[in-house]
Structure 1
């Protein structure tokens, strides 16, 4: 049987060994300088947005204070609006953060508007909805082990609505059967809760099912939210190709037309390319005043 004093000696020795190991560990940690990484959501941008989807990129800046690289094991992300999930996902094995370095990790997310609208009926096209991005970064730090770094960022995102377009009237400056130079007086409507800065149009016009080609915008215009504006667009076409529509134009009668194409606009959320179309419209072709001739007023002119 061991002497009591021997047991006390052994106990005291083991305690000293534990203290020594703990001291050594603390000194190593202090010397090497292991610490928790830090992170921040530095930016959320929308590189592409249209009527169907929005591509979102979340920039997360991660700083590693440690003398060795640390692996970024997983990234969990969630985008919600008013507490309701819009999209979530997981990015495994997201890379490595360099020693004593920093790196911006980009998290690509795609929001499909049909999925959102089918789930949340109160989210209407043309509206701006608030969102909250939640990101959990899981890193593996020597000595400290696995650490989860939670991040949050709020903002707003639009649900774009298709612009409306009408040919208010067609006014010609030079008329001949071979070539007519005219001006399309277009009315553009914006049912979105944000302004549209019109930069360019890309479209084709049909008069009585006969294409008269496209036109280019001469100057930019601003369409205020839930408002409309008028723009004049020059166009050149051959009336003799229009068939029976030509005689309706000469007589000043209403002429059926259709339009289809796209407009390029600037918005507070970035550039957008939005489709425009009009089927079964009716407009008039009027001649400008020449040689003292009085111009007829359109019946439907505002």
Structure 2
């Protein structure tokens, strides 16, 4: 205790008489180690990467982190630059954790909806300095983070409620799957469905409920068919128990601070007719 008191008096005297330059001669420079990054998504398009540092204080007295400057580059694009004035106290002869959260919007990173859809990873470079006591300690780290997927869309089944030589009453059962830990709010679904290469229906689905985290949402689209108007080739599609399908169109999202954007999709597969 007595040694710490003497040490504190000496430091106070150095600051008063000589300033920070003298103080740097009296105390050892803390060490900064980058511990990693965790990505906290708050929505499909907004995320908060949290960069974690360990500050090691070798001195016999506590020391404070008083400022963090940062320059975040994503995909070689100079993106976010700023200063965080957070206060963190590191105990004597100890270490502490410093977390630096930086929020951003994916659509400020990617030039187009197609580029966003086609990317599963993004590379980042974070650099800056951490003000600890009288020191300004530089840091730099490179890494990558995942880019979230749009909800997966598929045609799960075609339900036939009635079928005759004149026509049919059918329901297309679409499924939206969200495998993320946050809900996805889809504004509008613009769709077109083909069965065995034949156009069956086009339309726009609105008032879609949010797809909850790690869940699925089903959309039912009814259709009345008249075989006399459409021809016998359409009738022949329903003679089998399944058909090849093509589901295309676009998903529309209202992106915070960006506005409305359309994201195209194309899904092909086999669907049961029942």
Q: TM class, shorter-chain normalised? A: 0.5 to 0.7
Offset from partner CA, 1:19-71 (integer Å, 9 cap, x none): xxxxxxxxxx9xx9720000111010113264211221111100111111112
- Residues 158, 173 of structure 2: 8 Å contact kept: no
Structure 1: runs of 5 or more not aligned: 1-28, 141-145, 172-244, 266-270, 286-294
Distance 1:153 1:80 in 2: 11
Q: Which residue of 2 aligns with 1:134?
A: 127
Q: Which residue matches 1:98?
A: 91
User: CA offset at residue 275 of structure 1?
Assistant: 6.1
**Number of the residue aligned with 1:125:** 117
What is the distance in 2 between the residues matched to 1:261 and 1:166? Answer: 7
1:247 to 162, 177, 193: 162
Match of 1:88 among 81, 87, 92: 81
1:34 lines up with 2:34 in the alignment: no
1:55 counterpart residue number: 48
Show structure 2 runs of 5+ residues with no match.
1-21, 201-221, 223-238, 246-269
Q: CA deviation at 1:154?
A: 1.1
Matches within 5 A, 1:148-163: 148-163=136-151
Deviation at 1:96, TM superposition (A): 1.6
Aligned partner of 1:110 among 98, 103, 113: 103
RMSD, aligned CA: 3.9
Aligned-partner Cα distance in 1 for 2:61–2:168:
80
Q: 1:166 aligns with which of 136, 144, 154?
A: 154
What's the CA shift for 1:248? 5.5
Cα distance in structure 1, aligned partners of 2:182 and 2:164: 35
2: CA distance, partners of 1:137 / 1:250: 77
After superposition, the Cα gap between the structure-2 partners of 1:254 and 1:86, relative to the gap in structure 1 and judged at 3 Å, is farther
Give secondary structure in 2 for the equivalent of 1:114: helix
Q: Looking at CA atoms only, which structure, 1 or 2, has the larger radius of gyration? A: 1
- 1:68 aligned to 61, 66, 75, which one? 61
Distance 1:129 1:65 in 2: 36
Q: Which whole-Å CA distance do the structure 1 matches of 2:42 and 2:84 have between them?
A: 23
Contact 1:260 1:278 in 2 (8 A): no
Matches of 2:141 and 2:76 in 1, distance apart? Answer: 14
